[in-house]
Amino acid sequence: MFIDSHCHLDRLDLTPFEGEFASFMREARAQQIEHMLCVSIDLDSYSEMRRLVDGYDDVSVSVGVHPNEQVSREPSVEELVVLAENDKVVAIGETGLDYYRSSGSLDWQRERFRQHIRAAKIVGKPLIIHSREAKDDTINVLKEEGADQVSGVFHCFTEDWETARQVLDLGFFISFSGIVTFRNAQSIQEVARMIPEDRFLIETDSPYLAPIPFRGKPNYPFYVRHVAQCVAELKGISIERVAELSSDNFFRLFPGARA
């Protein structure tokens, strides 16, 4: 049984399932997906996302605003806290810094990040971190705000081992997406080989970043087995062992996800 620790179920292409989310869920269970964490990227569509997944015990959610999202108003600590106090919410995020898609003065992005960390500390729930071309600032902000008090996960990790060590030293987990299966992902593959067995997760980030052999096509949570297979080969263990380890790690990081 596999856990997809990071996906966006409200953004899936449901065409193969006759447009029915319930049909997709039946297929996910048939494909041995034990649990999915549906990750928030904005608050404008948050209520609609919750209506889609609230009837499913094998789906947990987060609450947060992606660092690149353009919003009419910035989320306050108070608003995030109110939303995060719901039992189905197991994490704050995704949040972080992204200097690839944003330019100019990015003080607003760093302040948004800090608001999320402060909310996470109040509710005592872990953070889901997005970091792209901003590794030093991301780690520095986490340290400055005392994010080690709540821990969390760097999702879709794309950095090298030296950065991974800093992440692990903060008490955070590292999650591998379909990118680890790409031929040009040697530095990420090195991290997958070296990371301790008790500190990694697997994810799809679906509908984005489909793994080999589906690269360039819509991604789905059941493709997480391809991520697991790649990690298994890199670590020299069985795919069943990767499924077991990543599932145990997921529920240790997100204890609220247990039904």
Each residue of 153-171: pLDDT tens digit? 999 999 999 999 999 999 9
Q: What is the pLDDT of residues 193-252, one digit of tens each?
A: 999 999 999 999 999 999 999 999 999 999 999 999 999 999 999 999 999 999 999 999
- Mean pLDDT (the chain) is 96
Which residue range forms the structural domain that includes residue 11? 2-257
- Token readout for 228 is 């697991």
pLDDT at 100 over 90: no
Q: Which residues of 80-105 are buried (b: 16+ CB within 10 A; e: fewer)?
A: bbebbeeebbbbbbbbbbbbeebeee
- Token readout for 52 is 């889609």
Q: What is the largest CA-CA distance in the chain?
A: 48
Q: pTM of the full predicted structure?
A: 0.96
How many CB atoms neighbour CB 51 within 10 A?
10
CATH (domain of 46): 3.20.20.140
Q: For residue 102, what pLDDT band results from cuts at 50, 70 and 90?
A: low
Percent over 90 (pLDDT), the chain = 93
pLDDT at 72 over 90: no
- Looking at the structure of the chain, the number of domains it has is 1
